[in-house]
Structure 1
Amino acid sequence: MNEKIEGNLIIIGGAEDKKGDKEILKRVANFINKDSDMLLIATIATEYPEKSYNNYHKVFSGLGIKNIEKLDISNREDACNKDNIELIKKCNLLFFTGGDQLRITSILGGTPIYDALKYICSEGRVIAGTSAGASVMSHTMIVQGEDEESPRKCTLKMSPGLGLIDSVIIDQHFAQRGRIGRLLTAVAQNPEVLGIGIDEDTAIVVSDKGIAEVIGSGAVYFLDGSSIVYSNVSEQYCDEVLSMFNVKLHVLKEGNKFNLIKKVPFEEDNLKNENTK
């Protein structure tokens, strides 16, 4: 992983609270100036863009954001539209809704919109995403895999993501859909990559220095395969249950933090001590 992760990212495990305290969406809203900055809601992943936009517009306007726009892209022609490109360049916060992550990559990949997205990320502007909008942030994303099953060698389908964060792979709706098996399979296939499973109504806020802070009501699971000493992950006998030794699991709750570069959790006091050395 690079020494520095570009951009400020808010990666949400899906089904975030929209009616109660709205803790996660409040945190999203507080990243910008609510009176003057622009929030851009990208509904690319969903087949019901108007419904999704209206839901989030209601929540974010209720949280005090005055300038909310919709990024309306349903095909690759829209991803070359100059007005859409300008919207991205002008926005202070881009929010990806849920849906199908392959819709995002297949529509945006190789287009001027994708270039604009990488540009605002490199500038450190905030990009948030929930559910499919979370999975798509990494270089490689999980597209399909068995829920609530033991990990098996050849049951996982992966695809290139948007590449906004290095050397991680993200899964969402994690505990609720029993996805530990498929994330273990992803890590076994490439132990250099850190697996991150995010529960519903839970998120990580990733700083440009690679620190991930957990917020929300659930847990975030960090799977580190860098010390694996054995696995049977090769595709021979592909129906076998996956076996691997010495994979490391960290489980963090709200307020806990994780160093994505060093692959270690830490307490705030320890971070202060490190910074004074």
Structure 2
Amino acid sequence: MTNIEAKGPLMIIGGAEEKDGKMQILREFARLAGGTDARIVVLTAATCEPEEVGRTYTKVFERLGVADIKIVDTRVRDNADLPNGVESIQQATGIFFSGGDQSKIIERIKGTKLDEAIRDRHEQGVVVGGTSAGAAMMPEIMIVGGDSESAPRLDLVDLGEGMGFLPGVIIDQHFAQRGRLGRLLSALISQPASLGFGIDENTALIVRGTECLVIGEGTITVVDESQSTHNNAAQALQDEQLALFDAKLHILAAGYGFNLATRQPISPQGLALNNLALVS
């Protein structure tokens, strides 16, 4: 068993979510935030183009019928202590982190009054979502960067402090598109988290309590090394390849789920049987 548990829903998106056409993922975020009555705040701390990103998400959510959309731009840390941004979060029913550079989210928001307001609203049940960098920052320990399409090595991945919305896991994004299995395995071997989620583009993991649901067009790769019997991290040098025995691997397509407490995948039939469908 594990104590991994979100408060309000989390929507963790692997990046490059569809912003025209059906827009399934952002449509579900808007629905979780209250539908046409939603009050959505988009946080652009991660991006170097906050105005453009803000306009893009404003247009998307307006198209879905959301009238109340605010952009909170914290391009310097002091902005995250300003009353206007904090008040916007306090009134929000949905909080969304854009993509970009996940380290900027930590530098510009973590430990500020804005951060405190976000955590308070999430504790009260408000949905928190993030795409790409906004997905990577969800755990306590996040992947900051590293090589893709390589075998696991200690020097393959850079780790840093995350926001901690979903503790006890590691998340990587743009997963299949950038060949990041080796990077995720390297992260899992080199730090204490024993559950990893690799999320493809235009794919999202929705978390409510200890239950998860996959939506979107790709898959989510789950690596569970909690019962692995061996790795050579203690003996390997930084540039040497890592070995790992008896880790579990699950591939979850849209409609499948995962239980964070039991560490078990759930079929669509199992979700329906246990009334665990998390979105309409």
TM-score (norm 2): 0.93
Question: Could you give the per-residue CA deviations for residues 210-241 of structure 1, whole angstroms, max 9, x where no partner exists?
Answer: 11100000000110001111111136422111
Letter in 2 for 1:233: A
Question: What residue ranges of structure 2 are gaps of 5+ in the alignment?
Answer: 276-280
Q: C-alpha offsets along residues 94-132 of structure 1, whole Å, 9 cap, x if unaligned?
A: 111100000000111221111111111111100110000
Please list every run of 5 or more consecutive structure 1 residues that lacks an aligned counterpart in the other structure.
none
Bigger mean CA deviation after superposition, 190-199 or 255-264: 190-199
In structure 2, how many angstroms separate the alpha carbons of the residues matched to 1:235 and 1:210?
35
1:270 deviation in Å?
3.8
After superposition, the Cα gap between the structure-2 partners of 1:255 and 1:168, relative to the gap in structure 1 and judged at 3 Å, is same
What's the counterpart of residue 118 of structure 1? Answer: 119
Counterpart Cα distance in 1 of 2:261 and 2:235: 30
Whether the 8 Å CA contact 1:171–1:196 is kept in 2: the answer is: yes
What is the alpha-carbon distance in structure 1 between the residues aligned to residue 105 and residue 119 of structure 2? 14
What is the alpha-carbon distance in structure 2 between the residues aligned to residue 123 and residue 156 of structure 1?
34
Which residue in 1 is equivalent to 2:229?
229
Q: How many residues align?
A: 274
Alignment check: 8 A CA contact 2:86 2:117 kept:
yes
Q: Which amino acid aligns with 2:238?
A: C
Report the counterpart of residue 181 of structure 2 in structure 1. Answer: 180
Mapped to 1, the partners of 2:28 and 2:181 lie a distance apart of: 27
Q: Is the 8 A contact 2:15 2:203 kept in 1?
A: yes
Match for 1:247: what amino acid?
A
Q: 1:109/1:247 Cα in 2 relative to 1: closer, same or farther (>3 Å)?
A: same
CA separation of 1:58 and 1:3: change in aligned 2, threshold 3 A:
closer
Residue in structure 1 matched with residue 250 of structure 2 by the alignment: 250
Partner of 1:108: 109
- Secondary structure in structure 2 of the residue aligned to 1:134: helix
What is the CA-CA distance between 1:36 and the residue it aligns to?
3.0
How many Å apart are 1:268 and its aligned residue? Answer: 5.0
Q: Secondary structure at the match of 2:197?
A: strand
Q: TM-score, normalised by structure 1?
A: 0.94
In the other structure, the counterpart of 2:194 is 193
How far does residue 267 in structure 1 lie from its aligned partner after superposition? 2.7
My pick for the range that moved more, 24-33 or 46-55, is: 24-33
Distance 1:224 1:79 in 2: 36
- Equivalent residue runs for 1:26-65 within 5 Å: 26-65=27-66
Letter in 1 for 2:81: C
Q: How far has the Cα of 1:5 moved from its partner?
A: 2.6
- Whether contact under 8 Å (1:153, 1:235) holds in the other structure is no
C-alpha contact 2:258 2:264 (8 A) present in aligned 1: yes
Q: Percent identical across equivalent pairs?
A: 39
Residue in 2 that maps onto 1:241 = 241
Partner of 2:89, secondary structure, is helix
C-alpha change, 1:216 and 1:268, in structure 2 (3 Å) is closer
Q: How far does residue 165 in structure 1 lie from its aligned partner after superposition?
A: 0.9
* RMSD across aligned positions (CA): 1.6
Q: Is the 8 A contact 2:5 2:166 kept in 1?
A: no
Amino acid at match of 1:163: G
SS in 2 for 1:147: coil
Aligned to 1:131: 132
Provide the secondary structure at the position in 2 that maps to 1:143.
Answer: strand
In structure 2, the partner of 1:77 is: 78
In structure 2, C-alpha distance between the alignment counterparts of 1:64 and 1:274, rounded to whole Å: 32
User: Which residue of structure 1 lines up, in the alignment, with residue 278 of structure 2?
Assistant: none
Q: Deviations over 1:40-78 (max 9, x none)?
A: 111110010010011111111011111111112111110
